[in-house]
Structure 1
Amino acid sequence: MNACQAVAEHRPDDVRRVYVRESLLPAFGAFLRRCAASRIAYHVVDDAELAKITQSTHHEGVCFIVRERAPVALPALLAVPGPRCLVYLDGVQNPHNLGAIVRVCAHFGAAAVLIAGSDGGVSTSMLRTAEGGGEWVEVLGVEPGPAPLLAARAAGFRLIATAARSPQDLHARRLPQRTLILLGSESHGLSPALAQLADESVRIPGTGKLDSLNVACACSVLLSEYWRAHPAA
Structure 2
Amino acid sequence: LRAFYLKAHAKHFVDLQKFLAKAKKVYRVVENPDLEKLSQSKHHEGVCFIVNPPKSTSLSDWIDSEKKKTDSVLLVLENIGNPHNIGAIIRIAAHFGVSAIASMDVKSLSSGAAIRTAEGGAEVIQNISIQDLKASMLSLKKNGYKVLTTSSHQGSSVYKHIFGGKTVLLFGEEGDGLSKEAFGLQDERIMIPGSGKVESLNVSTAIAIILSERYRQIKR
TM over 0.5: yes
Deviation by residue 1:35-58 (Cα, 9 ceiling, x = unmatched): 112211111011111011122112
Q: Counterpart in 1 of 2:145?
A: 157
Identity of aligned residues (%): 33
Quote the Cα distance in structure 2 between the aligned partners of 1:30 and 1:212.
Answer: 46
- The residue that corresponds to 2:42 in the other structure is 57
1:168-203 deviation line (CA, Å, top 9, x unaligned):
111112123211101000111000111121100011
* SS class of match (1:59): coil
Query: How many angstroms apart in 1 are the aligned matches of 2:102 and 2:30?
Result: 37
Please give the residue correspondences for 1:173-212 in structure 2 after superposition, counting only pairs within 5 Å: 173-212=161-200
> Closer, same or farther in 2 for the Cα pair 1:58/1:141, shift >3 Å?
farther
Contact 1:118 1:143 (C-alpha < 8 Å) held by counterparts? no
Distance 1:125 1:199 in 2: 34
User: Using a 3 Å threshold, how does the CA distance of structure 1 residues 95 and 144 change in structure 2: closer, same or farther?
Assistant: farther
Partner of 1:139: 127
Please show how residues 1-16 of structure 1 align to structure 2 within 5 Å: 15=1
Contact 1:19-1:42 within 8 A present in 2 as well: yes
Partner of 1:6: none
Structure 1 counterpart SS, 2:156: coil
Indicate conservation of the 8 Å contact 2:154/2:191, yes or no. Answer: yes
Partner of 1:7: none
Aligned-partner SS, 1:88:
strand
Count of residues in correspondence between the two structures = 217
Aligned partner of 2:3 in structure 1 is 18
Verify the 8 A CA contact 2:108 2:114 in the aligned structure 1.
no
- Residue identity matched to 2:31: D
TM-score, normalising length: structure 1: 0.88
CA contact (8 A) 1:120 1:140 kept: no
TM-score by length of 2: 0.93
Task: Quote the residue 1:40 is aligned against.
Answer: 25
| Corresponding letter in the other structure for 1:44 | V
Look up the equivalent residue of 2:139 and give its one-letter code: A
Tell me the amino acid that sits aligned with residue 62 of structure 1: V
Q: 1: CA distance between counterparts of 2:177 and 2:185? A: 14
Correspondent of 1:102 among 74, 87, 90: 90
RMSD in angstroms over aligned alpha carbons?
A: 1.6
**Structure 1 residue ranges, 4+ long, deviating more than 4 angstroms after superposition:** none
Paired residue for 2:62? Answer: 77
Cα shift at 1:167: 4.2
